[in-house]
Amino acid sequence: MSELCSMALKRGYRVVVFNKRGHGDSVLATPRMQGFGDPKDMRHCVKYLRHKNPAAKLVAVGSSAGSGLLASYLGEYGADCIISTCVAICPAFDALDLFTKPLNFIYQFLLLSSVKKILKKHSKVLSPLLDLEAAYNAKCFMDFDTQVYCKFYGYKDVFEYWKHNDPMRNILNVSVPFMCINTGDDPISLARNVPVAMFKENSNWLLVMTTKGGHCGLLEESTLAPWADRLALDYIDAVLEFKGADE
């Protein structure tokens, strides 16, 4: 997110990065990680920012898994989300399809390795609650989620877990202008799951769909600068300007 933060700072935004508990070199004080679509921690962060900056307009950009958390937050809190507008970069619109079916081996290996690394970092505080060896040996996300997140939240199986963590579960409650940026060749956020009809039916939502770009690889060929970050900020600028004129 560093490029986006740098770009936003240059435009005059005050930037805050939300790290899920246990991520970003943070200390895990309690034996629990944050579920994929559990927005409660983000809610505390947003309310804290509102308390500290009561007159400021809060906006948000989520990338990859962060966009899933953002969608969950917007859907769960609806008109009380406190956020004026937001952008999701490469969101996955069907988490159940993504995480309960085999991914490309390379991507699955890389993603699983990253979450296992986080788990190992907090092994001391998590060991009383989890079978860590079983989690480390997980070969797919179904196995990992069963050993980790189902235990944290008390779900009977991975399907119940994803029923409560699917970012689309309350998507119709989203009440603010919302832009999504997706690519046709994304190996993780699959194009077949992009609900194009839903965007056509909602005038408050905007979908940007490119032919190529992979997963969050939205770079300008000439400069290798992330054009998706620039587009996200352009959109937020325009929405805030429109809302300001309307008010």
Q: Which of 116, 139, 165 delimits the end of a domain? A: 165
Domain of residue 155, residue span: 97-165
Length of the chain equals 247
CB 143 within 8 A of CB 169: no
pLDDT one-digit tens code per residue, 200-228? 999 899 999 999 888 888 888 888 888 99
Q: Are residue 127 and residue 85 in the same domain, yes or no? A: no
Residue 88: pLDDT band (50, 70, 90) is: very high
Contact 183, 90 (CB under 8 A): yes
Q: Are residues 13 and 108 in the same domain?
A: no
Question: What is the count of structural domains for the chain?
Answer: 2
| Boundary of a domain, candidates 112, 134, 165 | 165
CA neighbor of 237 nearest in space, from 59, 36, 25, 38? 59
Q: Could you tell me if 208 and 87 lie in one domain? A: yes
Say what the pLDDT of residue 240 is: 95
In this structure, the answer to whether residues 178 and 223 fall within a common structural domain is yes
CB-hemisphere CA count at 13 Å for 84? 17
Please check whether residues 23 and 79 belong to one and the same domain: yes
Residues 57 and 41 in one domain: yes
Q: Do 132 and 41 fall within a single domain?
A: no
Residues 62 and 108 in one domain: no
Cα angle 96, 102, 108 (rounded to 5 degrees) comes to 100
Of the candidates 115, 134, 165, which is a domain's last residue? 165
Q: What is the mean pLDDT of the chain?
A: 91
Res 75: pLDDT: 95
Mean pLDDT of 81-102: 85
Per-residue pLDDT band for 187 (boundaries 50, 70, 90) equals confident
Strand ranges (E), the chain: 58-63, 83-89, 178-183, 205-210
Beta strands in 81-232 (DSSP E): 83-89, 178-183, 205-210
Give the tokens for residue 14: 């005050």
Q: Are residues 103 and 56 in the same domain?
A: no
Beta-ladder partners of 183: 210
Are 6 and 88 in the same domain?
A: yes
* Same domain, yes or no: 73 and 10: yes
Tokens of 130: 């989890």
Give the model's pLDDT for residue 124. 94
Tell me, yes or no, whether 157 and 240 share the same domain: no
User: Could you tell me the end-to-end alpha-carbon distance of the chain, in angstroms, rounded to an integer?
Assistant: 31
Structure confidence by residue, pLDDT tens digits, 146-170: 999 999 999 999 999 999 999 999 9
Q: DSSP 3-state assignment of 166? A: coil
CATH number at residue 44: 3.40.50.1820
User: Is a pLDDT exceeding 60 seen at residue 246?
Assistant: no
